[in-house]
Amino acid sequence: MDVTGKVVLISGAARGMGAHEARRFAEAGACVILGDVLDDEVRALAEDLGDARALAVPLDVSRSEDWEGAVAAGVARFGQIDVLVNNAGILRFSNIETCSDEEWEKVLSINLGGAFKGIRAVLPVMKRNGSGSIINISSTAGLKAFGGVSAYVTSKFGIRGLTRAAAVELAGHGIRVNSVHPGNIDTDMVEDLYPNFNHVPMKRMGQPDEIANLVIYLASDASSFSTGAEFVADGGETGGMPDLFAQPS
Ligand SMILES: NC(=O)c1ccc[n+]([C@@H]2O[C@H](COP(=O)([O-])OP(=O)(O)OC[C@H]3O[C@@H](n4cnc5c(N)ncnc54)[C@H](O)[C@@H]3O)[C@@H](O)[C@H]2O)c1
């Protein structure tokens, strides 16, 4: 899974899985453009990774002008963008009856609109290069519904449609587009959320590294024949229900 010399733009890179992926890419010899609304945190991470490898850019993924600025700054520093990881996302708790217009629009505009705007912004650069890999972070909540997070579920299902639409439009330009569907991963987003992991056959959370491995695979040429596809890393959660008919031993 060679990503040496690739230039990778990651949204939501200040913390959680995005920050972890940034470190893994930089360690593997890639250059990273790190975008987030948490300016201080993302700048500190870029400083830690070093000027030669990392650039922090202010990025609210729901704002087209921020994407344009991030792409321009990244190209000015590193000359190209080979990989886009649409990772930024927010989780809000409300069911359909109680979800306000503002909350619905905010979740959709960040989780789904942000990915769309990111793809649109990097296209001129990737088309010019004649290659690219775009990785959209969805969720197991994009494969099955969870009650009480209706806007989030809708946004993560939407990522699958966006991924396929982009994949078929862009294959002719050498640009691949795939989605990643993590299960419960140990980050701030889900801290103390789960009482147990009985719904997961592996009976545990995943670690950010286990998603980074998949993202790096999709970024690399090792996944050269994969586009418009869905890659799941969830400890078996969407495979089926564990223990439903378990007999007492
Ligand atoms: N943690 C999980 O269990 C889990 C499971 C499935 C999918 N996901 C998805 O993985 C992605 C990363 O999640 P995480 O667990 O690392 O979350 P996190 O909350 O730890 O990190 C999310 C990052 O996105 C940034 N962000 C939020 N709004 C933004 C915006 N408008 N513009 C730019 N950046 C913004 C945050 O500042 C933060 O740095 C998200 O898309 C999330 O929905 C997470």
* pLDDT tens per residue across span 203-218: 999 999 999 999 999 9
Is residue 239 assigned to a domain? no
CATH number of the domain bearing residue 181:
3.40.50.720
Burial label for 12, CB within 10 Å (0-12, 13-18, 19+), is buried
Q: What's the mean pLDDT in 55-81?
A: 98
> Exposed/middle/buried for 243, CB within 10 Å: 0-12, 13-18, 19+?
exposed
Count of residues making up the chain:
249
pLDDT (tens digit, 9 = 90+) per residue, 54-66? 999 999 999 999 9
Active site annotation includes 217:
no
Of 187, 204, 231, the residue with max ligand 1 atoms within 8 A of its CB, to mutate for a pocket test, comes to 187
Q: Which domain holds residue 33?
A: 7-233
Q: Are residues 119 and 162 in contact, defined by beta-carbon separation less than 8 angstroms?
A: yes
Q: Which among 134, 205, 222, 207 is positioned nearest to 170, based on CA atoms?
A: 134
Judge whether 61 lies within some domain. Answer: yes
Q: Is the pLDDT of residue 164 over 70?
A: yes
Under the banding of pLDDT at 50, 70 and 90, the label for residue 144 is very high
Question: Sign of the CA dihedral 25, 27, 30, 32?
Answer: positive
Q: How much is the pLDDT for 230?
A: 98
> At 168, phi and psi to the nearest 5?
-75, -30
For residue 37, give the 3-state DSSP assignment.
Answer: coil
Domain for residue 28, yes or no? yes
Name all residues whose Cβ lies below 6 A of ligand 1: 11-12, 14-18, 36-38, 59-62, 87-90, 110, 137, 139, 182, 184-185, 187-190
* Assigned domain for 129 exists: yes
Best residue among 10, 17, 42, 66 to mutate for probing ligand 1's pocket (most ligand atoms within 8 Å of CB) is 17
Considering the domain boundaries, does residue 2 fall inside one? no
Q: How many domains does the chain have?
A: 1
Any domain includes 149: yes
On whether residue 111 sits in a domain, the answer given is: yes
- Whether residue 194 is predicted with pLDDT greater than 80 in this model: the reply is yes
Band the pLDDT of 249: cuts 50, 70, 90: low
Answer for the pair 102, 96: CB distance below 8 angstroms, yes or no: no
Beta partners for 54? 32
For residue 164 the two structure tokens come to: 């396929």
Residue 131 within a domain: yes
